[in-house]
Structure 1
Amino acid sequence: MHIEHRAQERHVLAITVDNESGILAKIAGLFTARGYNIDSLTVADISENHTVSRITIVTHGPPAVIDQIHAQLERLVPVHKVSDLTELGPHVERELALVKVAGRGDMRVEALRLADVYRAKVVDSTTESFIFEITGAPEKIDAFVALMRELGLVEVGRTGIVGMMRGANGA
């Protein structure tokens, strides 16, 4: 059992790259070539002059394969830095989701009550539905969505995970 668990280790990779076309395809290709799925992928410009982007990838795989992907990512010319947040230690992960729930009467009241408990914000409301915005750890969003399924869940949109090392130093 321990070996199976190691084979499926979850890793959060933060990759700083030149903001140029084709880099995302190259990075995704490294995972595809090895048959490993990308569980979550976010990309955003992080520089004032729009020349640098940060890609955050969440994946599962054996340590040897993750190490190999890490090494190959560092060899790509437009890649500045690759950090495995999982290996580096304590880090913060957050995700944003929009959750649409339809319902009337008691179901509507319960959806609002649970949204308050989970600190989800109403960003759109009609007489028959709400759209909630919720931010937090992926497990928090999973729990909120599971509860909303029982109350009339219509649709979910998620941004994917972004992560950052704790403390004063960058990754």
Structure 2
Amino acid sequence: MKRHTISVLVNNHPGVLQRVAGLFGRRGFNIDSITVGQSEEPGYSRMIIATSGDDKLLEQVHKQLYKLIDVVRIDELTAYPLVERELALVKVSAVSEAKAIILGIVDPFRAAVIDVGKRHLIVQGVGEQEKIDALIELLRPYGIMEITRTGLTAMSRGETAETATPDAALTR
């Protein structure tokens, strides 16, 4: 199974996220990660969806998404070199003697301690999913109290799918 990251430009209307997620659920497609935010164009939002499957599954995802009226454009980001990032906030139990050790773990990951309490630290990590997973695993022995992750966001490097070749992106 191959992991696919797709960018979906949609009209910024209420219920669009629910319709897209519902489509995946009804068709038995799994969403590994989904992030949504405003796009560079007013009135539109961009969804970055990570899913796993073969090329046939991806083709079905594209066809089903285009049936939704609010879907404007779909780009398969994994067809191009891309940048992927995720943000995680991790609250770690930390008594005074453990704080120095945790700071030593955080530093090589270029993560940051963004809050310090008497018995905890909140660590912010940004990077590829594997990097975030590794950071969390190294912090786990100290007692993770809470984790929140944004999910994957991505963008193609260099030329975008839209400018690389005229038939590279499926558009309406």
What TM-score do the two structures reach when normalised by structure 2?
0.88
In 2, Cα distance between equivalents of 1:70 and 1:128:
48
Structure 1: tracts of 5 or more residues without a match? 1-7
Question: Offset of 1:59 from its aligned partner?
Answer: 0.9
1:85/1:47 Cα in 2 relative to 1: closer, same or farther (>3 Å)? closer
Which string of whole-angstrom CA distances, capped at 9 and with x for unpartnered residues, describes residues 68-112 of structure 1?
Answer: 1112212322111101111x2211100101011112244221111
Contact persistence 2:110–2:125 (CA under 8 A): yes
Which string of whole-angstrom CA distances, capped at 9 and with x for unpartnered residues, describes residues 34-84 of structure 1?
Answer: 2122111100012464x1100011111222121111122123221111011
In 2, Cα distance between equivalents of 1:64 and 1:105:
54
Amino acid at match of 1:124: D
1:168 aligns with 2:159: yes
Contact persistence 2:75–2:161 (CA under 8 A): no
Question: Offset of 1:170 from its aligned partner?
Answer: 5.0
Match of residue 17 from structure 2: 24
Secondary structure of the equivalent of 1:127? coil
Match of residue 63 from structure 2: 71
Task: State how many pairs are aligned.
Answer: 162
Match of 1:12 among 1, 5, 18: 5
In 1, Cα distance between equivalents of 2:9 and 2:25:
20
What TM-score do the two structures reach when normalised by structure 1?
0.88
- Over the matched positions of the two proteins, sequence identity in percent amounts to 41
Match of 1:59 among 24, 32, 51: 51
Structure 2: tracts of 5 or more residues without a match? 163-172
In 2, Cα distance between equivalents of 1:163 and 1:74:
21
Match of residue 44 from structure 1: 37
